[in-house]
Amino acid sequence: MPETESSTRVIPATGLMPRHVAIIMDGNGRWAQKRLLPRVAGHRRGAEVVRRVLVACRERGIRHLTLFAFSSENWRRPPAEVSLLMKLFRGMLEGEVARMHEAGIRFRVIGDLSRFDEGMVQLIHNAEQLTAANTVLTLSIAANYGGRWDILQAVRRLAQERPDRIATLDETDLAPYLALADAPEPDLFIRTGGEQRVSNFLLWQLAYTEYFFTDVLWPEFDARTLDLAIASYQQRERRFGRTSEQLRAGEATRRDAAGQ
Ligand code: IPE
Ligand code: IPE
Ligand code: MG
């Protein structure tokens, strides 16, 4: 099956390693507050955890990792916190990308870049260009990202480029314009920090993703918790609307091959 085929059509077998893991890295502020530290200390620690998780995913053969770093709603936070988060993001672009490149990681940013300053946009483009041909793992950082924005920007671009398609628009028309179009849809979604909500993350792409919520705060997230999430994922039977009996009979694959 081509990697980009919609995972809502072709069902991955139970027990496999997820190809694509998407994470809402939540709980930095509470981690810091519990230690009587300023919230920004939690963000600093959280940024370090990203490196650790990237290594763990690579070691496990996960091909795509998508991390929610800053939502389109996070601009509502106090200006000092927003500017520290931007500083950390810039630090990652300046300091980490070369290391990722050496490790064969393809780096990219998904989100509305129009609110970032020119220097930042340049850094993002440079990082994406430098690592574009890498194949070990694709790390997508969602920054100023919102799931609703993603769908709207896809519709807008499609309307501009293919006005003839608008009246009969279907999923396959829209899919190439959405963020992460070149990746399989996430198999496993993890949210740390105890909240059980999607907070405007990948609304379209998470349609049939398996969810895993943990109370572990992001700064404490490690390979052990990742493995718990993966183990939980590997026990689940994904059905995409079909019955267990159909799956056991191998019918899903046959029907998908027939385009049904
Ligand atoms: C997640 O941690 C990081 C961002 C949203 C940028 P939070 O800052 O939301 O941490 P809590 O939820 O307040 O603990
Ligand atoms: C979601 O976290 C966004 C990121 C982790 C970047 P929030 O902590 O901002 O989510 P809500 O607003 O509490 O749902
Ligand atoms: Mg939060």
Q: How far is the CA of 66 from the centre of ligand 1 (A)?
A: 17
Query: How far is ligand 3, taken at its centre, from the CA of residue 26, in Å?
Result: 5
CA of 205 to the centre of ligand 2 (A): 18
The residues with which 66 forms a beta bridge, in sequence order, are 22, 140
3-class secondary-structure state, position 131? helix
- The structure's pTM equals 0.94
Q: Which atom of ligand 1 is nearest to the CA of 30?
A: 14
CATH annotation of 20-259 = 3.40.1180.10
Q: How far is CA 257 from CA 1, 20, 252, in A?
A: 10, 22, 8
Q: How confident is the model at residue 260 (pLDDT cuts 50, 70, 90)?
A: very low
Instruction: Look at residue 3 in the predicted model and tell me its pLDDT.
Output: 46
Maximum alpha-carbon separation in the chain:
59
Domain boundaries, the chain: 20-259
At residue 258, does pLDDT exceed 60? no
Looking at the CA of residue 27, tell me the nearest atom of ligand 2: 8
Q: What is the mean pLDDT of residues 48-73?
A: 97
Name residues contacting ligand 2 (CB within 6 A): 24-26, 68-71, 73-74, 195, 197, 199
pLDDT in tens, 114-135: 999 999 999 999 999 999 999 9
Position 259 scores a pLDDT of 47
Task: Phi first, then psi: give them for residue 48, nearest 5 degrees.
Answer: -70, -35
Instruction: Decide: 52 and 222 in contact? Cβ < 8 Å.
Output: yes
**Active-site residue flag, 26:** yes
Residue 222 a catalytic site member: no
